[in-house]
Structure 1
Amino acid sequence: MSSRRRSTFILAHDPLTPIIGEPIARAIKTLTREVYGNAKSVPSNRGCGSNGHLAMVMSPEAYTFHSDEPFIVPSIPRELPSYADDATDAEIYYANFAYEDEVTAFQTYNTLQQTLRKQILTAVEPPFYHELEDREFGYMDVTLLQLLNHLTTDYGEITPQDLEENREKLRAPWNPVEDMTTVWNRIHDCIQFAAGNYDPISYDTAMCLTLEAFTNTIHLRMEI
């Protein structure tokens, strides 16, 4: 019986955006978003079937906001498929298929977890997660959720200064050489950064701040 194990994946973010030096809140949010995207990009029919392996990097409580059905972590089948003496070819085929499907789901889940763990450990410098290392097993038993929670708790706290600096990014002088796509992406990133942090930026506010930056830049160039 052949195995359909997946050992490589086409990920949305490969590699993750590296974090140089001590992580800051914005970098942790970017890292988390990219890990979410990678986990979701690998298909799985578990949960609601449309979130891939997103549950791998979220708490069960957080995952319920994205799926009406829980994600059951796959386990390796303990027994080979068995057939009745009078089983038809179709029944044997479907029993084998169900068995291989369970094996594949288990192997995909574990291989993906190893892949994403390696991505995170590569993107972040070792001193900032070293305390999670086991003397014998290294990071092999550290789950993705434990890694992300550690980084978020220790380095991902968003301060009032972070929120103000985020708004200042929208007010930053505009470079006319800059592609407008870059401007729209910056607006989107600033709105996303502020979302859920008790200081949200509405689209209208973001546009006003950006237009203010455009106006100030034009006035400055005219004065020069």
Structure 2
Amino acid sequence: MSAREDIMNRIASALRDSPETPVVPRAYRRSSGMTDAQRLQQLVDRLVDYKANVFLTPADDAPAQLATLLAGSASIVVPHGLPEQWLSELTTTGKHQAGTGAGANDAGMPVVHVDGPGHRLSVAELDAVDAVVTGAATAVSETGTIMLDGSDDQGRRIISLVPDRHICLLHATDIVEVLPEAIARLEATRPQTWISGPSATSDIELERVEGVHGPRTLDVIILT
């Protein structure tokens, strides 16, 4: 008998008397009973309670809102698939591929570093930028959770975790009420990041400490 066969026989013997796996009940809610306006208001309430900054913005005004939030920032990183229109109020003279450029450009707007296939920023480079700007896949109003799934407008998980500030643009039409609705929208094999407010912990002597596991500041622009 080989060592592998011996191990497998021991496992089978140990499991021989194990109880049968019970059927898991699936009677939980799978859909929303709220209106669009109610879901939006619930999400805003949750995000504000989590100490995120929320901006309800008409879609056409997204570039101006983004430029206002980024005024004074020296540099930002964006995923390669972020809609160009959202960055249209930022001067294009500061746009660089990964690893080039430093400091705000002549117009006072931040230098934009694009992270994507073929030109990925290092952890040190991400740590040096002032903010990251991404889109979002969906959001759950009941829990105040925003979900990123690695799509082109959201980029790699690391770019939304290392910079100290995350500005996330979310379409109001992508807000759902309960978690099963959001899960149904996501591709299970894609890398996902679930965000419920800025990074914080109270594990250290019950004192809230922000920025421990990710961005210290979360700005959410909800496109209405």
Both structures adopt the same fold (TM-score exceeding 0.5)? no
Q: TM-score, normalised by structure 1?
A: 0.24
- In proportion to residue count, which structure has more strand? 2
